[in-house]
Amino acid sequence: MNRRRSWRSRALELLLWAALSVVTAVVMVSLSERLLPSNF
């Protein structure tokens, strides 16, 4: 039987996934600046 989750719990989960997206992008930007030549 499915229990309905509160909107607060759903919003929190969405926020966490969004934070993971941002962290992924920041890590990739940082890696690209280290690995690519300065005039890429």
Partner 1 sequence: MRVLAFAGKLLISLGVGVLLFVAWTLWGTGIYTERTQVRLSEDFAALPSLPRGGSSTLKPGRPPRAYRPPPGDPVFRLRIPAIDLSQIVVEGVGTEELKGGPGHYPACRAGFPEPFCTQLDEVWPGERGRVIVSGHRTTYGAPFWALNELKPGDDIIAETKWGTFSYRVSGSEVVPPTATDIANPRATDGREIVLTTCEPRFSAAERLIVFARLEEA
Rule CB under 8 A: is residue 2 a binding residue for partner 1?
no
Q: Of the two residues 7 and 40, which places its CB atom closer to partner 1 in the complex?
A: 40
Q: Of the two residues 12 and 29, which places its CB atom closer to partner 1 in the complex?
A: 29
* 38 phi, psi to nearest 5 deg: -65, -20
The per-residue DSSP string of 1-40 comes to -PPPPPHHHHHHHHHHHHHHHHHHHHHHHHHHHHHS-TT-
Size of the site for partner 1 (CB under 8 A): 17
Footprint of partner 1 on this chain (CB under 8 A)? 17-18, 20-25, 28-29, 32-33, 36-40
